Amino acid sequence: MSEGLFITFEGIDGAGKSTHIDALAAAFHAVGRKVVLTREPGGTPLAEKLRGLALNDPMDPLTEALVMFAARRDHLLQVIEPALARGDVVLCDRFTDATFAYQGAGRGFDLQVLATLERWVQDVPAARSLRQPHLTVWFDLDPAIAAQRLAGARVPDRFESQPQTFFARVAQGYADRAAGDPQRFLRIAADRPREQVWSAVEQGVRARGWL
């Protein structure tokens, strides 16, 4: 059995993650891999309820961080870990880098507290140390372009309705996480046409020998 693979998709709202996650799933299917497509916050019945609260109900930054990590713990134990144990490929739309980018850099919440929660939540028996993605595909996009892409697309939630200055901080938060773990991050310049963005994603995954 092949080893399970955990790949996360990250970036500010509107960066293009969802546009390419299905195509990557299809590429893995084509080489015979089973794929679990999931998202955060969410991915289990409990975590989806927490998602509804996090995206819509006003709350203070500590509550918001705890809700994200509570949802993540349930998702890890119920979905991600069992899938990796089976040898599946887990493609997850956002994970802990989003918490550092949104709650940490965006809201200004204490990064040390987030790092402590990360250690608690991602300490799972099957991982040699902490469960972390094998690869994080980071869609790096100027917040002004992301805002144009999302304009009028849907009723904005608590995050999508934040000003561009918030997303500039979130983008910097992603850049800081990538600088701290450059091997794990595949930076995609997401301001290019869809086909070029997809080609960069596919090449990055192929270069690791997974396709």
Ligand X SMILES: Cc1cn([C@H]2C[C@H](O)[C@@H](COP(=O)(O)O)O2)c(=O)[nH]c1=O
CA distances for 156 relative to 1, 16, 151, angstroms: 43, 16, 9
User: For residue 79, how many other CB atoms are within 10 A of its CB?
Assistant: 18
Binding-residue pattern over the window 126 to 165 for ligand ATP, x denoting contact by CB under 6 A: -----------------------xx--x------------
How far is 187 from 137, CA to CA, in rounded Å?
6
Residue type, 1: M
The answer to whether the annotation marks 173 as part of a ligand binding site is no
Residue 18 interacting with ligand ATP (CB under 6 A): yes
CB of 123 to ligand X, least distance (A): 18
Q: Are 100 and 8 in contact (CB under 8 A)?
A: no
Residue with tokens 């690869």: 135
Tokens of 118: 């990360």
Query: Residue 151 binds which one of ligand X, ligand ATP, none, with CB within 5 to 8 A depending on kind?
Result: none
Residue 98 interacting with ligand X (CB under 6 A): yes
How far is 145 from 111, CA to CA, in rounded Å?
28
Residue with tokens 């991915």: 43
- Contacting ligand ATP within 82-121 (CB under 6 A): none
Binding-residue pattern over the window 153 to 172 for ligand X, x denoting contact by CB under 6 A: ------x-------------
Residue 209 CA, chain-centre distance (Å), reads 22
Contact window for ligand X (CB under 6 A) among 22-30, 39-47, 76-84, 171-179: 39-47
Tokens of 43: 């991915």
Which listed residue (20, 39, 169, 177) binds ligand X by CB under 6 A? Answer: 39
DSSP H or E segment with residue 44:
none
Contact window for ligand X (CB under 6 A) among 79-87, 91-99, 137-145, 202-210: 91-99
Closer Cβ to ligand X, 22 or 207, answer by number: 22
* Residues of the shown chain interacting with ligand ATP in the complex, contacts defined by CB under 6 A: 11, 13-19, 149-150, 153, 193-194, 197
Positions that interact with ligand X (CB under 6 A): 13, 39-41, 55, 68, 93-94, 98-99, 102-103, 159
